[in-house]
Amino acid sequence: MDNLWLVLACLSTFALSAWLTHRFLDPKSVFHVLDHPNERSLHRSPVPRTGGVAILAALLLGGLASAMALSWPREVGWIALGTLALGLVSLADDRFGLAVRYRLLAHLLAGVLLLAVGLGVDRLELPGWDWVPPRSLAWVLSLLFVAWMINLYNFMDGMDGLAAGMALIGFGALGVLGWQGGDPAFAWGCLLIACAAGGFLRWNAPPARIFMGDVGSSVLGFLAAAAALWGSERGLFPLWVAVLIFSPFVVDATWTLLLRLHRGERLWEAHRSHHYQRLVQAGWGQRKTLLGALALMLAAAFTAVRAVGLPEPEQWFLIGAWVGLYGLVGWKVRQAECSAEAR
């Protein structure tokens, strides 16, 4: 009976997210705030950008409903508090615009909430290698990890369906790892997030009628960091497995950041130099680029789930294969640009 209630809670989360997202399409809605195209945008006309409010509201209500059948551990309360606080700050940013320093402060405070409940980067693991950093360094690494996951998710939310697709696949994979590890609370929590993102994706698939805005991207980035640290702390998987699941975002955002640093560009300025943006500009279009990205996400999620429990040599083989594959992706993007320039 409890499992049936939890399934209904997940389905209700999906339905509520889809319904609220559709409601926010109405210009009369208080949550109808338009995103006007800028130097970073791939869209050409104003689009509502408050779909993240629907994701957040559906997720919080789904979590409350699930509490009737599942005893959430104390970590969930702190994660929910950080999620709500970050969502409110991001909503203010979407509506009125906040200075970068205030947004970064909110991101760091969200990381502090996770540290307060014992969720942090307390060890760095790779197959056959395990290092426990000093506590002060662990705190710094934890805050940097949380802040970077929030920001990279925001950077990658620039194309129809991309951020919601990553959430649907990424948290779905984490949910599978929770089931494999015998932790139903972790599994159901991740599945609720996937359902909330899936409901929004109904209206965000190309051509998108609404965007998730900073509320959605910041919340999903924070939850990705929180789930990675929570699952690692529970011993469900090493942290590198969670990073592999979200590696389509982690690699693109980090690669682009380092490349812009090398070029001496101003990091706070809007740009269109992420891999997905470059492919769209090279003539792939958003639908083809999204399908390629989703295939990459599914492959990363599948191999990450399979990696848990494999012998160390096979885990290293998977890591090496993905390093090579992402190098190939970078080369493919450049080839697409060269072909477009030659036309």
Bridge partners, 131 (sequence order): 124
Radius of gyration of the chain (CA): 19
For residue 310, which amino acid is it? L
pTM of the model: 0.95
Query: What's the pLDDT at 97?
Result: 78
Of the candidates 53, 59, 57, the one whose C-alpha atom is nearest the C-alpha of residue 90 is 53
Q: How many CA atoms lie within 13 A of 240 on its CB side?
A: 17
More confident residue, 168 or 96: 168
DSSP per position, 300-330: HHHHHHHHTTS-HHHHHHHHHHHHHHHHHHH
Contact criterion met (CB below 8 Å) for 79 and 220: no
Of the candidates 179, 163, 289, 275, the one whose C-alpha atom is nearest the C-alpha of residue 216 is 163
Peptide bond into 48 cis (omega under 30): no
The most confident of the ranges 64-68, 104-108, 247-251 is 247-251
Q: Which two tokens stand for residue 183?
A: 């932790």
Q: Which residues contact 229 (CB under 8 A, 6 or more apart)?
A: 114, 119, 120, 121, 142, 145, 146, 239
Query: What's the pLDDT at 70?
Result: 84
H helices within the chain, ranges in order? 2-23, 51-66, 74-96, 100-116, 135-156, 162-180, 184-204, 213-233, 239-245, 247-263, 275-279, 285-307, 312-342
pLDDT (tens digit per residue) in 257-289: 998 888 888 776 777 889 999 999 999 999 999
Query: What's the pLDDT at 43?
Result: 67
Residue 1 pLDDT exceeds 60: no
Query: CB atoms < 10 A from the CB of 230, how many?
Result: 27
pLDDT (tens digit per residue) in 4-43: 888 999 999 999 999 999 999 988 887 877 877 766 666 6
Q: Which residues contact 117 (CB under 8 A, 6 or more apart)?
A: 74, 75, 78, 79
